[in-house]
Chains A and B, each alone.
Chain A
Amino acid sequence: MSAHDTVDQNRRDFLYVATGVAGAVGAAGVAWPFIDQLRPDASTLALATIEVDVSSLEPGMSLTAKWRGKPVFIRNRTPQEIEEAKSVPLDELKDPVARNQNINADAPATDADRSAGEGKENWIVMIGSCTHLGCVPLGQQGDFGGWFCPCHGSHYDTAGRIRKGPAPENLAIPTYQFVSDTVIRIG
């Protein structure tokens, strides 16, 4: 007779679903810290920026810095290397994009856009990790006088652009800037 004797099925279904959803959200909330702890921690992120003194690098010299656990190639290129890279027509490139974090994502892979920019075109800063499967390429080797990856035979030119072999992209250029004429901050 009274409302208590009949079951409102819609209302009951709603309560079931609402309870289930609340439980699922709660479970996901509990699961998140277990996944979140896997991500790079604060000390790893704190090392995400380094400063490198490049005052000792004469033209034709390179150094390798370690940044985020990976090698970073810093090279003071010779005028001849710059000329070589400049003379390559863009349509000959396997990857026509500059892959330079410091400029537009779709900038073309000209030598200027690969280098440290106007006035500093002799400098090139790249992550020394082959874009194929992450091996470290060897400097001043290969068919194009740039870098050569011994793992699967990728050849990069003097601007670090992929020219031959299985790697899909040019060597990545990380975010960096010259904080003075002789110090580069990476990251």
Chain B
Amino acid sequence: MSAHHSHGSYTPKTGIEKWFDQRLPLPRLMYDSFVAYPVPRNLNYFYTFGGILSIMLVAQILTGVVLAMHYAADTRLAFDSVEKIMRDVNSGWLLRYLHSNGASFFFIAVYVHMMRGLYYGSYKAPRELLWILGCIIYLLMMATGFMGYVLPWGQMSFWGATVITGFFSAIPLVGTWIQELLLGGFAVENPTLNRFFALHYLLPFMIAGVVVLHIWALHVTGQTNPTGIEVKSKTDTVPFSPHATMKDAFAMVVFLAIFAYFVFYIPNFLGHPDNYIVADPLKTPAHIVPEWYYLPFYAILRAITFSIGPIDSKLGGVLAMFGSIAILFFVPWLDTSKVRSAVYRPWYKLFFWIFVANAVFLGWLGSKPAEGLYIPLMQVSTFYYFAFFLIIMPLLGLIETPRKLPNSITEAVLHKTGGAPAHPAGATAAPETKG
């Protein structure tokens, strides 16, 4: 379908272009994917985060590769080698702060990107695989981020790794065997650090591979848009260049400006001071917390303080935590609504925003100790997290009355339905419609 609405086609002009086109049509692929490729004319700024994520991945790989030239994956050297990067290596402080804050901003972008997908129903047929590939990327990101945080070999590195690998010991029968397989020993030690470094270096390239599949799948089905209506005619789309490239570039500049503020002014704001204390296997920090982007899941883990039949609270917590991520894979089938976008689903819109607020609240709870009032709050919040996917999504599709859909993207842009003013909230209008 994308080819059908394509804006112009690639014609090799020079001799070398023709020569290439007959042997390896890479310029043609680039032209079709990033120049003539039709995108819906009503994409808003929430649709720029895919591009932002791409450059964050490239930036993380670049800074990571050069940091690896100075880092030593040995428990006796790791902490000092990171300090050496900070003090002695030329521009080392900048590269490390770019990398550590880059991880956080990578996750900020991916959370916005995922929320965009959930809000506009981007996961619905025929884009289920596109969504699942995204979930796989997110899982790989979490594994990469976790192992990266272990490398500086500070107190939070060590104890975070101890607690997280400890999850596997909750698995009945084979749990301890799996835990020792992951650790390469009986506790977090040198073999653990070594393999985490190797995998931390490998996984981003696997992410890049899945990103290629993700973009491929995107270009097969075409992008969704805020109306959730499929592209029907050429007037519904604009060519990728210059429209999407310019919009993406502007969003990247704004995003990177905020990123730069963190890197240059508050580089340790998102980190934990305890990680500047070298790892001590005999002394636990008073309060172990993971990186902020895992906090909601940490709250879910600790919300299960009770046994469920034969499942004790420890295994129950681990299952709930992994389940909270696994459930994302099933979203395309849990949502029963025929209408894609929350713009036309008043009830879904309400529950969606409660879900977002609840996720942020879970994150805040994750930073708190598991005691007193925090525990029932974690339980209520965890319940809503699962209820949103398992109860609200399937039921709402059956009982909700959606608003009237416009006939096409063009109609939605040019004659706003529902008597709304010409330019309602959420900058949905493409630039050219503003005259």
Contacts and interface: CB of A to CB of B under 8 A. Distances in A.
- Do A and B pair up? The answer is yes
Given A39-B181, A168-B313, A133 B163 contact: yes
Interface string A134-178: 111000000000000111110000000000001010000000000
B370 A152 contact: yes
Interface stretch (A3-11, A62-70, A75-83, A108-116): A62-70
A168 B286 CA distance: 20
Contacts of B288: 133, 135, 151
B184 A69 contact: no
A69 B313 contact: no
A66 B182 CA distance: 20
Query: Which one of A133, A136, A152, A168 has the greatest number of beta carbons of chain B within 10 Å?
Result: A133
Interface in B153-184: 159, 162-163, 166, 180-184
Interface string A14-47: 0000000000000000000001001111001000
A71 B282 contact: yes
B346 interface: no
The B interface, classified by DSSP as helix, strand, loop or mixed, is loop
A150 B187 CA distance: 20
Contacts of A48: 186
Interface residues of A, number: 26
Contact of B371 (A41, A128, A153, A168): A153
Contacts of B369: 152-153
A133 B166 contact: yes
Interface of B: 159, 162-163, 166, 180-189, 191, 195, 281-284, 286-288, 302, 305, 312-314, 369-371
B281 A66 contact: yes
A136 B284 contact: yes
Counting from the closest, the 10 A-B pairs by CB-CB distance are: A69-B187, A68-B186, A135-B284, A136-B284, A134-B166, A69-B189, A44-B185, A133-B163, A134-B162, A71-B282
A40 B281 contact: no
A168 B163 contact: no
A101 to B, nearest CB: 13
B278 to A, nearest CB: 15
Given A38-B181, A166-B305, A69 B281 contact: yes
Query: Which one of B180, B185, B282, B369 has the greatest number of beta carbons of chain A within 10 Å?
Result: B185
Interface string A44-55: 100010000000
Contacts of B312: 168
Contact of B287 (A39, A70, A134, A151): A151
Given A66-B281, A69-B188, A70-B187, 16 more contacts: A35-B181, A39-B180, A39-B181, A40-B180, A40-B184, A41-B191, A44-B184, A44-B186, A44-B189, A68-B186, A68-B187, A69-B185, A133-B162, A135-B162, A135-B284, A151-B287
Contacts of B181: 35, 38-39
Contacts of B314: 132, 168
Contacts of A41: 184, 191
A94 to B, nearest CB: 12
B283 A136 contact: yes
Contacts of B284: 135-136, 149-151
Contact of A69 (B186, B195, B286, B370): B186
Contacts of B159: 135
A133 B317 CA distance: 11
A38 B184 CA distance: 5
Contact of B191 (A44, A132, A134, A149): A44
Nearest to A138: B284
A132 B282 CA distance: 16
17 contacts: A38-B182, A40-B184, A40-B185, A40-B186, A44-B185, A68-B186, A69-B185, A69-B281, A128-B282, A133-B163, A135-B163, A135-B288, A150-B287, A152-B371, A153-B371, A166-B370, A168-B314
